């Protein structure tokens, strides 16, 4: 199971929110590159980089931060937040993203999202399936759609999506543990059939203790995104090194 620390960006700074609420913003570091280099020094290979300004603006904003981290570390970065156009994707990949995550676009403009899958391949495009009360949330989690999360994932599974990041927004930033039952259900419902490709589920939201990681691995999660637990010293980089 891949360990994927998260860096969320507002105004070029490393921040965390609680339940996606922008009013709860807490700045952890003025220099995201410094944080990324700490991750790299601990042997971490992957990074989940989120442009929260972009999510609100519905277009890529903090691409310079992406470019800086990609050019000055060896981290494999998946980048998301406000990617809505072919130009946004062009900028993100040009600035060094190895993968991009599309959430709102996959709800509001499935044709464009599917065209990205065709153009770039299913290993480079991640489906963002972030939910609240099991309903898919969009626009930087500011809006709740009527789409049920497992139905949403299965619909894109038929379109050959491989990677899915699922965040239970009610858990995000709460440090109360992840949604084990939801992830178990997703993996069971989306297990390989004769017509569908198995998905690679990346768990996100609520991670609070190192002991939760083996449980997610046992469920079959391909990766886990860890944010606030690192910044609030609930999980140390040394513990993560021992784990992987």
SS3 61: coil
> What's the token pair of residue 132?
């609240």
In angstroms, the CA 235 to CA 95 distance is: 30
Distances (CA, A) of 195 to 37, 41, 157, 160, 213: 42, 42, 10, 10, 31
Among residues 8, 51, 53, 88, the one annotated as catalytic is 8
Question: Is 168 known to be catalytic?
Answer: no
Among residues 53, 78, 88, 130, the one annotated as catalytic is 130
CA 4 centroid distance within chain: 9
Question: Is 51 known to be catalytic?
Answer: no
> What's the token pair of residue 114?
């599917």
In angstroms, the CA 199 to CA 73 distance is: 28
Active site residues: 8, 130
């Amino acid at each position: 199971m891949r360990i994927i620390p998260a860096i969320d960006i507002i105004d070029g700074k490393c921040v965390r929110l609680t339940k996606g609420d922008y009013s709860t913003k807490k700045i952890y570091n003025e220099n995201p590159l410094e944080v990324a280099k700490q991750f790299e020094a601990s042997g971490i290979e992957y990074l989940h980089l989120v442009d929260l300004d972009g999510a609100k603006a519905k277009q890529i904003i903090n691409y310079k931060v992406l470019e800086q981290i990609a050019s000055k570390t060896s981290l494999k970065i998946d980048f998301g937040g406000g990617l809505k156009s072919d130009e946004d994707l062009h900028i993100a990949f040009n600035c060094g993203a190895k993968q991009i995550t599309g959430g709102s676009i996959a709800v509001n403009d499935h044709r464009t999202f599917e065209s990205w899958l065709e153009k770039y391949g299913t290993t480079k495009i991640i489906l963002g399936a972030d939910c609240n009360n099991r309903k898919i949330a969009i626009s930087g989690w500011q809006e709740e759609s009527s789409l049920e999360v497992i139905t949403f994932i299965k619909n894109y599974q038929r379109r050959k999506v491989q990677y899915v990041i699922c965040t239970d927004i009610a858990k995000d930033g709460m440090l109360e543990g992840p949604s084990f039952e939801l992830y178990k259900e997703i993996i069971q419902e989306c297990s390989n059939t004769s017509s569908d490709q198995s998905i690679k589920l990346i768990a996100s939201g609520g991670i609070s203790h190192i002991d939760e990681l083996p449980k997610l691995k046992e469920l079959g999660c391909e990766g886990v995104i860890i944010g606030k637990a690192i910044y609030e010293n609930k999980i140390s980089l040394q513990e993560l090194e021992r784990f992987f």
